[in-house]
Amino acid sequence: MEELKAEKEHLRETIAIIKILLKEQMSLEKIYSEHLGSREELWRIANRKKIHIHNLESSLDTPYFARIDFTFEKDGKLQTIYIGKNGIMQNTNIIVTDWRAPISSLYYDSEVGHCSFTSPEGEVSGNLELKRQYEINSGNLISYYDVDLVSTDALLQKYLNSNNDSRLKSIVSTIQKEQNEVIRRNLFDNLIIQGVAGSGKTTVALHRIAYLVYNYRDSIKQNQYLVIGPNPIFIKYISSVLPELDVSSVKQCTFEGFAQNYIDEEININSPDKKVTQSIAGKIDNDIDKFKSSMNYKTMLDQFLQVYFYSITAKDFTLDDFTVLNSQKVKEVFDSTYTSTHISLASRIELTIEKLSRIIEDNIDSITTAFTDYTFQAFANLQDPKEEEKMRKKIVKNREELHKFCKSSLRKYFAKAKIDATKLYKLFISSIENYDIFNYKYLKTLKKDTMKNIKNGCYDFEDLASLIYLQKVIAPNPEYSRIRHVVVDEAQDLGEFNFFVLKSALPSSTFSIFGDLAQSIYDYRGIDNWNIVNKIMFDNNGRIINFKKSYRTTSEIMEVADEVSESIGMIHSDLVVRHGKEVDFTPLEQQNIPSYIAGKIKEYKEKGYKTIAIISKTNLLSCYINDGLAELGVNIPNITLNDDLSEDNNKVCTISNQLAKGLEFDAVIINNANENIYSSSSNLDMKLLYVAITRALHELDIVYSGELPSPLRLYLKKKIMF
């Protein structure tokens, strides 16, 4: 009782200090704002004050979520440390320690007893005497728990059992040891994280950014970090989350957005979601897209570039008909500039012009002599005095140009090499038969379809890697040379060539790559092996880490998901022990499905679930069920790429598999999961089914007409047997 009283008193004192600090900061912010004028430094200070005020205001509700008592081995001093989402200082006193601080790792990684943490000064050892978690709401202490292993504590279980709309608020306090190890990895480490559905990949990705921003704030600006996400819905989501993690100006984009910005051209990009819809429906042959996403396609591009570079120096450098330097010499000098794969075509041309100018200058006497001989020959062939006078003036002009090192003429000589990425790609496609070193059987179709798109001013997603690669060759975008770390989420949907150009276009950056091969629904371009990515990007020096624990769903739901993932050769998850209701399997006549789902939505709402999704294999099927529900008076949105789920967490919606990927809902109803729709023989269909199943936090109902896919039939058979 006394300890509870002491904890409540400490909480009151902490909140009182925060209120004092908040009042002080608001006064300072007002002063800075009133004296801004045009001074940029004052603006930056004022902006920092605004962020500081926001952090203090958000801390009033929950100043901290944990406490550790640690005895330092070096001096035997016992220190009590309160850990919160934001660090709080009063003068030089640390009131609350930021969760990202080195000593805070003890809370996430260590058991009570002897342990250590890594500080900027080196390894610090000691004894962890106490590890305590708090449940605080609106400034009031609800309860606290003394814990040892975070993965089995009461706070985690409470978090996992919460509804979708409240989960983000407590995530910092429930980060698990294996997640924390990734979050706190060195900035200079290249990581590939393979994580089962619900293992917290996106959560870890965002917290890693927050951790790096905090710990490298003195050397790296926030705009030197980049997050690449799978679609606009994801980007909107993280845009709302990152500020809550004290991250305000990190760059965020899809791969399409990255390509658009990198080549710095206005291009129209065909929606990849239309293609994946066609692929899911079996209406397109995906081989061409797979080939365009491969390193073989890059090899063909390299063959083309060799020919293109040769064409740049194929002619003699002349003044009129006089050969100043023959093509062989020009080519020799041009080739000598290729000292690094990072050097651009534009830089090579400038270096070549400088070198050729020096050669002309160093040999000006012999060149002038040769030019004199050329002029005598020219005059010998002239009969008309007027023509002779014209020739004389031209010769004088050319002689002057010789003495100016011919720089202007050299620039004219290389002007034809000044070309943008889209035009260069068009040249490649128009002559692609010349570079068919792999005897690719669909080359004619590839050429026809791609040229048709280009003429219409459009490009497929699978063309973007080529455009980025060509832009890097022509003139790398300097904006991206300053990026220091890149986080890629849902990376399994990128192809080999996509990974190559990311590394190539971001030469100063390290990477944290997150994905799940079992959710690779863009299988016509995606990868199926992380070792390939490690080789392409990091020369096999990256670290591949597996997240096998699923925290999103109950064990009952994950058992069903594991049966599906096993059918496509993926490993089982390690279940987090959180039990819930058994998965419902509901056989129905197709015409009765809408009315059943309408009733189920009502049931879930009565249970207090705030996010409910009806997931269909395709957007077309999603529209059909949405229309069927509307006829019954159930009017809910059908989610498209333009929707922002972060704005309204109380959404009940219909949604397609491809858009549901990466999202989670309190309850999920899978619309008509029968064998005809989700074919057991199709890896893609089983991946889509796996995605749908693993969106559910608490309850799942699989509705079907006819026969279930074989993995689900097998699951039910096992349940009957045992």
CA distance 242 to 234: 12
Retrieve residue 209's tokens.
């950014």
Exposure on the CB side of residue 667, measured as CA atoms within 13 A: 23
Kindly state the helix (H) or strand (E) to which residue 584 belongs, with its residue range: strand 584-587
Enumerate the β-bridge partners of residue 117.
Answer: 124
DSSP letters, 251-304, are EEEEHHHHHHHHHT---EE--HHHHHHHHHTT-S--HHHHHHTSHHHHHHHHHH
Which residues, other chains included, contact 112 with Cβ-Cβ below 8 Å and sequence gap of 6+?
Answer: 128, 129, 130, 131, 148
CA distance 499 to 539: 12
In 3D space, the residue among 600, 665, 584, 668 whose CA is nearest the CA of residue 632 turns out to be 600
In 3D space, the residue among 575, 536, 534, 529 whose CA is nearest the CA of residue 556 turns out to be 575
Residue 169: predicted pLDDT: 45
pTM to 2 decimals? 0.84
DSSP letters, 587-618, are E--GGGHHHHHHHHHHHHHHTT---EEEEESS
Q: Are 466 and 495 in contact (CB under 8 A)?
A: no
Retrieve residue 570's tokens.
């993926």
Which residues, other chains included, contact 426 with Cβ-Cβ below 8 Å and sequence gap of 6+?
Answer: 451, 454
In 3D space, the residue among 79, 138, 137 whose CA is nearest the CA of residue 103 turns out to be 79
CA distance 380 to 386: 14
Find the helix packing angle between 443-455 and 421-430, rounded to 10°. Answer: 140
Residue range 259-290, pLDDT digits in tens: 999 998 889 998 776 777 666 666 666 789 99
Q: Could you report the average pLDDT of every consecutive run of 10 residues in the chain (722 residues)? A: 91 94 74 52 56 82 94 95 93 94 94 93 94 92 79 57 52 85 95 91 93 94 94 82 85 95 90 70 74 96 92 84 85 81 79 87 78 68 64 63 67 83 96 94 94 94 96 91 96 95 96 93 83 97 93 90 89 74 96 97 95 93 95 92 56 90 92 95 92 94 96 90 63
For the four alpha carbons of 379, 385, 390 and 394, in that order, the dihedral sign comes to positive
Kindly state the helix (H) or strand (E) to which residue 41 belongs, with its residue range: helix 40-61
In 3D space, the residue among 492, 701, 709 whose CA is nearest the CA of residue 599 turns out to be 701
CA distance 36 to 49: 13
Exposure on the CB side of residue 277, measured as CA atoms within 13 A: 15
Residue 387: predicted pLDDT: 63
Give the Å distances, CA to CA, from 166 to 145, 163, 577, 611: 20, 6, 20, 11
In 3D space, the residue among 683, 594, 698, 681 whose CA is nearest the CA of residue 636 turns out to be 594
323, with CB counted inside 10 A (0-12, 13-18, 19+), is middle
Residue 55: predicted pLDDT: 82
**Which residue blocks in 475-578 are alpha helix, DSSP H?**
496-505, 530-538, 555-567
DSSP letters, 339-352, are --TT--HHHHHHHH
CA distance 493 to 234: 14
Backbone phi, then psi, for 653, in 5-degree steps?
-150, 160
Q: What is the CA radius of gyration of the chain?
A: 32
Exposure on the CB side of residue 287, measured as CA atoms within 13 A: 8
- Long-range (24+ apart) CB contacts under 8 A made by 386-392 are none
- Long-range (24+ apart) CB contacts under 8 A made by 164-169 are 164/610, 164/611, 164/649, 164/664, 164/665, 164/666, 164/697, 165/610, 165/611, 165/649, 165/650, 168/241, 168/244
CA distance 144 to 8: 11
SS3 209: helix
Retrieve residue 52's tokens.
């500081």
Residue 658 falls in which region: left (phi positive, over 0), alpha (psi -120 to 50) or beta: alpha
Torsion, Cα 681 685 687 690, to 10 degrees, reads -100
Q: Are 503 and 537 in contact (CB under 8 A)?
A: yes
Retrieve residue 223's tokens.
């705009």
In 3D space, the residue among 614, 304, 569 whose CA is nearest the CA of residue 428 turns out to be 304
Residue 167: predicted pLDDT: 42
CA distance 146 to 127: 16
In 3D space, the residue among 693, 683, 645 whose CA is nearest the CA of residue 196 turns out to be 693
